Amino acid sequence: MIIPVTITEKAQDEIKNIMSNKNIPKDYSLRVGVKGGGCGGMSYALGFDKLKDGDQQFTIDQIPVLIEKKHVMFLMGMQIDFYEGNEARGFTFINPDIPKRHDAE
């Protein structure tokens, strides 16, 4: 089975930290999904949830992952990373098929 998303080592470390330190129940998995449309297009979502009908299950470096079957095509090839900077920190979704924009110098 093809796993539609990848998770960077930095993001894996943060997910494992959250799972062990935030009292996430043992029967919950990382849910990766998309939220709908509008002018801005799709936005991506991460959370912890129980297995539901229509979910596909994956394991990425000992992290149980759930994705609704209808979301898989929108997530194919996405990379989940964790950013930690001076102003902000959080998870980001990177589509390697879209070239990064470079600001004018």
Residue 77 contacts residue 4 (beta carbons within 8 Å): yes
Predicted pLDDT at 39? 61
Predicted pLDDT at 42? 77
In a domain, 29, yes or no: yes
Domain range for 59: 5-94
- 52: CATH: 2.60.300.12
In a domain, 104, yes or no: no
Residue 78: band (very low, low, confident or very high) from pLDDT cuts 50, 70, 90: very high
In a domain, 100, yes or no: no
In a domain, 102, yes or no: no
In a domain, 99, yes or no: no
CA angle 97/98/101 to nearest 5° reads: 150
- pLDDT above 60 for 101: no
**pLDDT digit string (tens) for 18-35?**
999 999 999 999 999 998
In a domain, 55, yes or no: yes
- pLDDT above 80 for 90: yes
Bigger pLDDT: 59 vs 102: 59
Encoded amino acid at 74, one letter: F
What is the number of domains present in the chain? 1
In a domain, 27, yes or no: yes
**pLDDT digit string (tens) for 40-61?**
677 899 999 999 999 999 999 9
In a domain, 70, yes or no: yes
Predicted pLDDT at 102? 46
